[in-house]
């Protein structure tokens, strides 16, 4: 399928403390690469990927990879409102990053109100369990996900385990919300874009300009 022919564009934001592996997850998902050392995100980085959610329906995914450090919060907050989905990421071997998930969730919800964002909770670096470095149990992570009303997935960019699942679960959840009316296209909002609507708007603009030209000639 021609990747230039997408039906919808979803903007998704990566959320979580610094060093939980948000950039590594995106690198693995979009390029199928894992780098042991990856530069720390400064501000916001951008990634693009395409996913066919059903035959003939291509979604263009635009990812915003936010810096987890507090000094960049004023920058990253400005991106919350124009996102339809968020991956809440913590490191299963870093308890503090798990305890901060509620803070990230609350902060985002505060900035997107009265609208809502769809989330998926991700316990990243699941490979650390093999080394006995796990400090957050799967049961308590699942309990938190239930309290937040979202899905929980454990993944590892290092091994590739469930990386695709994280992004696909969120994308399909957004798409289902769009079909059911839970998520709606809104004028002036870039969380979701429809290629059909954009084409219609361009056609209307073109017709309006042609009408103005005809009136000017008269």
Chain centroid, CA 140 distance in Å: 23
Evaluate the CA torsion angle 193, 194, 197, 201 in order and state its sign: positive
Answer yes or no: CATH 3.40.50.300 is held by domain 8-216: yes
Q: What integer pLDDT is reported at residue 197 of this predicted model?
A: 61
> Residues for the chain: how many in total?
218
Section 9-24 average pLDDT: 93
- Burial bucket for residue 184 (CB in 10 Å: 0-12, 13-18, 19+): exposed
Strand 118-124 versus strand 85-91 pairing type: parallel
Q: What integer pLDDT is reported at residue 114 of this predicted model?
A: 74
Residue 119 has pLDDT above 70, yes or no: yes
Chain centroid, CA 147 distance in Å: 20
Mean pLDDT is lowest, of 38-42, 68-72, 180-184, for 68-72
Band (pLDDT 50/70/90 cuts) for residue 189 is confident
């Amino acid at each position: 399928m021609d990747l230039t022919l997408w039906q919808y564009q979803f903007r998704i934001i990566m959320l979580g403390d610094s060093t939980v592996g948000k950039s590594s997850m995106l690198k693995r998902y979009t390029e199928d690469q894992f780098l042991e050392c990856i530069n720390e995100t400064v501000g916001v980085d951008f990634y693009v990927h395409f996913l066919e959610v059903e035959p003939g329906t291509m979604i263009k995914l635009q990812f915003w990879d936010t810096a987890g450090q507090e000094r960049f919060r004023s920058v990253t907050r400005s991106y919350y409102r124009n996102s339809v989905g968020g991956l809440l990421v913590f490191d299963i071997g870093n308890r503090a990053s798990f305890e901060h998930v509620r803070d990230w969730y609350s902060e985002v919800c505060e900035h997107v109100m009265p609208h809502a964002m769809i989330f998926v909770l991700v316990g990243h670096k699941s490979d650390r369990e093999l080394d006995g470095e796990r400090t957050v149990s799967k049961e308590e992570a699942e309990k938190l996900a239930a309290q937040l009303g979202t899905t929980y997935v454990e993944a590892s960019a290092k091994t590739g385990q469930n990386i695709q699942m994280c992004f696909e679960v969120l994308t399909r959840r957004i798409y289902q919300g769009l079909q059911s009316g839970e998520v709606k296209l809104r004028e002036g909002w870039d969380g979701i874009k429809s290629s059909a609507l954009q084409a219609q708007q361009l056609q209307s603009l073109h017709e309006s300009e042609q009408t103005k030209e005809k009136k000017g000639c008269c």
